[in-house]
Amino acid sequence: MELLQLAVGGLANGCIYGLVALGFVMIYKASEGVNFAQGDMMMLGAFVALGLGNGDHLGLPFVLAVPLAMAVMFCVGWGVERVVVRRIFGQPQFALVILTIAMGFVFRFVAGAVFGYTPLVMETPYGGQNLNLGGVVIGYADLIAIAVTIVLTVALWAFFAFTRIGLAAQAASQNQLAAYIVGVPVMRVNSLIWGLSGAVATVAGVLYASRGAIDPNIGLLGIKAFAAAVIGGLGSLPGALLGGLIVGLVEPIAGRYAPGEVAQMSPYILMLVVLLTRPSGLISQVQMKKV
């Protein structure tokens, strides 16, 4: 029973990791770069939603505040690609890694300057309400997190698998020059993907915020989500979700049976094991260089 209770909380946590991991994977799929600011984009998205929705700020209704925040963060992601990322086109992969880490710090500074560093709670219609199923207590926030994540993952998967833009994004990631020559608007597709990942990060942020307080440092969760993305396979959307769920489940269970430090380490140990045994993740793509 206790284990089941842990599992439900873990699943909901895992969904949020999974959503942030989705953002990593989307950008990786489109440009083979890794956006280390994804966690901070989640943080920023949560704060934008909070600023729009909370009574002591703008006080918009929740159902209006969240889509608006998603739109704002879409523009932020899109703008970041247009203004910054595009300029380092063609530089080695790690340039983007360092650049996005630095951008994460900028986001954190902005959020801290506007909202301060004391934890804030977001007002949601379902906050604090629970469902009691035969001794297992499930928060509505947990249920919604799980449901939203599943819907979003399926939608994104369909986007990449079936729509023209999704396919174009995949083509662009494999050979930008070739994609450009056959008429894929590589640049525009990239901007779009960055925008989308901003919107997805906002959803993750809102789900996170509805389960607890937020402060500008919650972006560090991105590192854990990153471990999730790697466990699942950096190129695979279902893999990201799977990785997120695994991390979400392993953490509380490890914490139950071992010292807290071991629980903190567990996602990373798991990730190292996966990297060593299946370097391209559980759901992998073929990786090999042609000479």
State which of positions 177-206 bind other proteins (CB under 8 A).
177, 180
Q: Is 110 exposed, middle or buried (0-12, 13-18, 19+ CB in 10 A)?
A: middle
Q: Does 253 bind other proteins (CB under 8 A)?
A: no
The residue type found at 68 is: L
* Smallest separation, CB 275 to other proteins (Å): 6
Alpha carbons 288 and 149: distance in angstroms, whole number: 32
Which of residues 60, 106, 165, 187 is near other proteins by CB under 8 A?
106
Which of residues 4, 58, 64, 98 is near other proteins by CB under 8 A?
98
Q: Of the candidates 226, 234, 186, which has an alpha carbon nearest to the alpha carbon of residue 89?
A: 186
Which of residues 16, 169, 201, 230 is near other proteins by CB under 8 A?
230
* Smallest separation, CB 126 to other proteins (Å): 33
Which of residues 64, 93, 126, 137 is near other proteins by CB under 8 A?
93
According to DSSP, the residues that pair with 133 across neighbouring strands are 136
Alpha carbons 80 and 218: distance in angstroms, whole number: 20
Which of residues 4, 63, 113, 136 is near other proteins by CB under 8 A?
113
* Contact partners, residue 182, CB within 8 Å, separation at least 6: 171
Q: Report the residue number, 163 or 285, with the smaller CB distance to other proteins.
A: 285
Choices 130-138, 157-165, 199-207, 218-226 (CB under 8 A): range interacting with other proteins: 218-226
Q: Phi and psi dihedrals of 205, rounded to 5?
A: -65, -40
Q: Helices in 84-127 by DSSP H: which ranges?
A: 93-115
Q: Does 102 bind other proteins (CB under 8 A)?
A: yes
Q: Report the residue number, 35 or 124, with the smaller CB distance to other proteins.
A: 35
Nearest-5° angle of CA 253, CA 258, CA 264?
75
* Smallest separation, CB 183 to other proteins (Å): 15
3-state secondary structure at position 132: strand
DSSP one-letter code for 215: -
* Smallest separation, CB 16 to other proteins (Å): 19
Nearest-5° angle of CA 227, CA 216, CA 110?
115
Whether the Cβ atoms of residue 84 and residue 103 lie closer than 8 Å to each other:
yes
Which of residues 75, 84, 121, 148 is near other proteins by CB under 8 A?
84
Q: Does 264 bind other proteins (CB under 8 A)?
A: yes
What does the binding site for other proteins look like in residue numbers (CB under 8 A)? 31-32, 34, 84, 87-95, 97-99, 101-103, 105-106, 108-109, 112-113, 117, 173-177, 180, 220, 223, 226-227, 230, 234, 259, 261-262, 264-265, 268-269, 271-272, 275-276, 279, 285-291
